[in-house]
Structure 1
Amino acid sequence: MGNSLVNSYVDTDVIIRLFTGDDEQKRKDAKALFEKVEKGTLEISVPDTVIADAVFVLSSPHLYGLPRNQIRDLLAVLLRLSNFKVENKQVVIKALDFYVDKNVDFGDAMLAVLTRASKNKLIYSYDHDFDKIEGIIRKEP
């Protein structure tokens, strides 16, 4: 196999199967896939929307209803893998912390991290959840 590294994409459902085990065969297959990523024989890329979808599915009371801190901890395992490439990886990691610590929606957490990193720190929103986050100026349009 040499030093060739295959770069592929993964869908949210594979991540969900890995963490939930609601289909044991799919969990085993997903685990084997991510073991290749961990060993460095496979590189997986995902847009940050895949992480957002995973947060939504895992947290939904109609589906898995996992607590926020458990979701962050599960996803952190993948995010620590050097061959698991995520668009805006550092933003996603910080957003997962805001999602837990500030009790805001993950999408709002992503916006909060980006806003805090911006020059003017300003976000236009009707959502008062942004008022919970230091370093952001929220204005209504």
Structure 2
Amino acid sequence: MAKFVDANIILRYLLDDPEADSVERIFKKQKEIIVADIVIAEVIWTFTTFYKWRKDRFIPKIKSFLSPDFIKADKKILNVALDIFEKYKIDYIDAYLISLMEKKKVQSIYSFDRDFDKVQSVRRIEPK
């Protein structure tokens, strides 16, 4: 039976904390581990705000974590979002929205956030 994981489980595993062995054991037992998109956002927020890690230090770890078949997530959206987040100086949530826009074939977004202007494939529309 599939189980969801919270951000703290992923963080313990990626940080190789003392609890990482326990986490690895549950991963080996489970056939399906479900990772919600918002959980990855929380993991990224924790790496950037609490640990003050640079993107190049944690993005490869997250991508590697998401790669096994037993990890069930919207991997296409998450990996594209991680690529955008890595490439541009924008917030992860903005990168995630751009990834979702690409999947849905939407090119425009209503926003006051000028960070969207950094990505050529996005047309930001400022409400007037």
TM-score scaled to structure 1, two decimals? Answer: 0.82
Identity %: 30
In 2, Cα distance between equivalents of 1:124 and 1:98: 19
Shift of 1:78: 1.5
In the alignment, does 2:84 pair up with 1:98?
yes
- Any stretches of 5+ residues in structure 2 without a counterpart? none
Aligned to 2:26: 33
Return structure 1 stretches of 4+ with deviation > 6 angstroms.
Answer: none
Q: Which entry has the higher C-alpha Rg, 1 or 2?
A: 1
Aligned length: 127
- Residue 41 (structure 2) aligned to one of 30, 42, 52: 52
In 2, Cα distance between equivalents of 1:27 and 1:99: 26
Change (3 A) 1:52 1:120: closer
Change (3 A) 1:58 1:120: closer
Cα RMSD, aligned residues only: 1.6
- Residue 10 (structure 1) aligned to one of 5, 8, 14: 5
C-alpha offsets along residues 79-130 of structure 1, whole Å, 9 cap, x if unaligned? Answer: 11111001x3211110001111112111000111122344441101111111
TM-score scaled to structure 2, two decimals? Answer: 0.90
Letter matched to residue 16 of structure 1: L
- Any stretches of 5+ residues in structure 1 without a counterpart? 1-5
Aligned to 1:85: 72
In 1, Cα distance between equivalents of 2:59 and 2:40: 10
